[in-house]
Amino acid sequence: AERGKMCLVFLHVLVCPQSFTITISGSHTNEEMNEGLTIPSFVRKESMPSLSVFVGKNVSDQVMLIGDIAVPYGLQNADPCTARSCLWPKAKDGNVYVPYRISNQYSQREKCIIKKGLKSFAKCTCVRFIPANCKRQRNFLDIKSDKGCYSYLGRQEGPQVVSLEREGCVYQSTIQHELLHALGFKHEQSRSDRDLHVRILLRNVEPGESKTPLRKVNTNNLGTPYDYNSVMHYGRYAFSRNGQPTIVPIPNPNVCIGRATEMSANDILRVNRLYKCGKQLEEEENE
């Protein structure tokens, strides 16, 4: 039961394409860098973030980005998790094994931070990220330093890129955020009941397709409450065109959002519920 208390972390299932390439500028303290828990500027700062957001930018001839979610061409208006099976399969032992490969682009220190983020799921969920055997396993996460921080939504066929650019993305919160996308979870402020908890100020949002990552979608919220502390929640200045807030909590506009350093209790709880992690759910029920 004690472990169950530690594992009540909130992850939210938001299903719909939305991804964004991020170019981040700014420095981090030595303490933050050593801990690997720095929140990138686009999430952390309660002022206009220093970043460039490219919505609809081509990653390749086959893939575009909407928000920080990679979407194959032809599925821009579809929900990837309904267009195909998006969950990773569960093994007979009750665990969900997700193979991964880490690019040699990273330094040993960066690899250690990424592995720490991967291992964090095993502490409180039945998800186990394991090194891929590329000769035997066709579907795996291909973690590399590409153009910004982004991931596909849910399991894809074949090697599946999770981009953690060396400059700005190799932090615990960002790693967990993108891995949650890969497990099938969307952004908190896009969930179906978000209008009861936040107000989206479209007048302050970048024109055109930049509004797409902030749209509300039909979601399976897994019986969990809206969570301002979710690692999947954007900050209040996301996609701002004028330095004014784009996401305002209600009824209390002063609530902190988008500043999580790691998964919340609700994030973890949702992983356990989505993937039916029996042991964790049993501990939760026995509290």
How far the first Cα of the chain sits from its last, in Å, is: 5
C-alpha 231/C-alpha 110 separation (Å) is 20
Active-site residue set:
178
Are 208 and 241 in contact by the 8 Å Cβ rule? The answer is no
User: What is the C-alpha separation between 215 and 204, in angstroms, rounded?
Assistant: 14
Whole-angstrom distance, CA of residue 279 vs CA of residue 257 = 31
CA gap 46, 39 in Å, rounded = 12
- Binding residue positions for Zn(2+): 177, 181, 187
Helices 265-274 and 172-183 sit at what angle, rounded to 10 degrees?
20
Closest by Cα among 274, 273, 275, 95 to 285: 273
